Structure 1
């Protein structure tokens, strides 16, 4: 089960999408073009693959990959670097949940 909030990572792009809830995810995915290589990271650091289930609804499958706070921090640093708005050396988080919550004010 996904622990909200979470972030969505598009493969080949440093931009991250903050998703506060299942309903926000469903609204965003209506217009989003995504691939099998894209993934979701929940507040516990768990990685989920995204698939279309029968009937067209979204299905998320937990993988064996679990991100550390350092790994999520690196993703957020790359995200912020692509926007060139924040000093990267000041970006550090003690937990995956803290890292994901840091993106909440960017939507």
Structure 2
């Protein structure tokens, strides 16, 4: 298992189906400064590797977790996320890879 995430990634907060798209390490650090995390929050990278968030000395770090997400599990997370927004047909949300599932949450660039 990799010790650092392959970006982009998604942040799954415990008890919340809404996901946060995280483009890179810098964005993760920016997001982390404004959030209160729980022990169950998890970052899922583009390869399906997962990381727990750990706070020590007022600095957040990512700790590799044993759970590895596959494309079906990543698609289910995206479905739950989209269900919260109620904007798309959930049965059409299927991705062949974790990378494509995560990329689907990337903000549109205009």
The aligned residue for residue 98 of structure 1 is 100
Q: CA deviation at 1:105?
A: 2.0
Aligned length: 106
The aligned residue for residue 74 of structure 2 is 72
5+ residue gaps, structure 1, are none
Q: Within 5 A, what are the aligned runs for 1:31-46?
A: 31-46=34-49
Match of 1:21 among 15, 21, 24: 24
Point out 4+ residue stretches in structure 1 off by more than 4 angstroms. Answer: none
d(CA) in 1 for partners of 2:40, 2:101: 22
d(CA) in 2 for partners of 1:90, 1:2: 28
State the Cα deviation string for residues 33-92 of structure 1 (Å, max 9, x = none).
211110100001011000012x32211111111000000100000000010001101111
SS of structure 2 residue aligned to 1:23: helix
Instruction: Please give the root-mean-square deviation of Cα atoms over the aligned residues, in Å.
Output: 1.3
5+ residue gaps, structure 2, are none
The aligned residue for residue 5 of structure 1 is 8
SS of structure 2 residue aligned to 1:104: coil
